[in-house]
Amino acid sequence: MSCGRSRRCGRLRGRLRGRWTSAALACVATALTACQLPYFMMAKEPKRKVAAEYDKLAGKRVAIIVWADQATLDEDYAARYRVADAVRYYLKEGIKDVDLVDIRDITDFQEKSGSDWEGMSNVELGRKFKADRVVRIDLLEYTTRAPDAQSVRKGRVRASVAVYDVGRPAGDRAVFATEVTGSYPPEGRKIDVLSVGDVDILNGALRVFGEATARKFYEHEVSY
């Protein structure tokens, strides 16, 4: 009996020793990981500052007015609102004291006036909404299909962007003009076509376009 008990005790001590060793190794591994955490937490992606291309929207009342052709509106009647709202969001993020005209007031006016508003100058549009500046966005592309392969889903929003100073004598001459493109998904990134729909792809392109457009007007950081 004593011999049996001795063997059992030996086996038990072996199991306990094995468990203790595993636990000790786990603790050591955890400790090492914890020691390395500060290094990874401190390691930041290098960034550089990019100056605003036009920095005179701060403290101003700004109207974001989007033009889209009829084919685009037939495809998405809310295209003007979606584009303007994407730019509005990122402008507000980057310029805290900018006063933005309610997007809905502008698009409601566009819808009610039909094409009549297109005959108004940018200065006239600015005065109607009591704005100091007009950010005019003319859509050139607004699609969820790749231009060279219609079967491939690729969100793309491209537009000419111009700023008009309503108070200037020559207000109908843009004080700033550029072209901006937003694409989604990014180059080289594949998407699951079964789980991602056209709305998701379009929203992705709108986010990229909205941020890229807004960043023209305030200093920001970009990764190297």
* Beta-bridge partners for 146: 149
**Total structural domains in the chain?**
2
What's the pLDDT score for residue 141? 96
Range of the domain at 195: 49-223
What's the pLDDT score for residue 97? 96
Q: Does 97 lie in the same domain as 191? A: yes
What's the pLDDT score for residue 95? 97
In this structure, are residues 149 and 141 in contact, taking their beta carbons and an 8 Å threshold? no
Q: Residue 138 corresponds to which tokens in the numbers above?
A: 């003319």
Q: Does 210 lie in the same domain as 175? A: yes
What's the pLDDT score for residue 149? 57
What's the pLDDT score for residue 4? 47
Q: Does 125 lie in the same domain as 37? A: no
Q: Does 94 lie in the same domain as 143? A: yes
The kind and range of the H/E element at 211 are helix 198-214
Strands, E assignment, 41-148: 47-50, 61-67, 99-100, 133-146
Q: Does 53 lie in the same domain as 38? A: no
What's the pLDDT score for residue 153? 78
Q: Give the model confidence (pLDDT) of 37-55 as tens digits.
A: 554 455 677 889 999 999 9
Tell me which residues of the chain have a pLDDT lower than 70: 1-43, 147-152, 188-195
Q: Does 130 lie in the same domain as 54? A: yes
CATH number at residue 185: 3.40.50.10610
Q: Does 14 lie in the same domain as 75? A: no
pTM: 0.77
Q: Does 97 lie in the same domain as 30? A: no
Q: Does 89 lie in the same domain as 165? A: yes
Q: Does 192 lie in the same domain as 119? A: yes
Look up residue 87 and give its DSSP letter: H
Q: Could you give the CA distance from residue 116 to residue 137 in angstroms, rounded to a whole number?
A: 17
Q: Does 170 lie in the same domain as 139? A: yes
What's the pLDDT score for residue 164? 98
Cβ neighbours of residue 80 closer than 8 Å, sequence gap 6 or more: 66, 67, 68, 73, 107, 110
Q: Does 90 lie in the same domain as 14? A: no
Q: Could you give the CA distance from residue 79 to residue 81 in angstroms, rounded to a whole number?
A: 5
In this structure, are residues 81 and 107 in contact, taking their beta carbons and an 8 Å threshold? yes
What's the pLDDT score for residue 2? 44
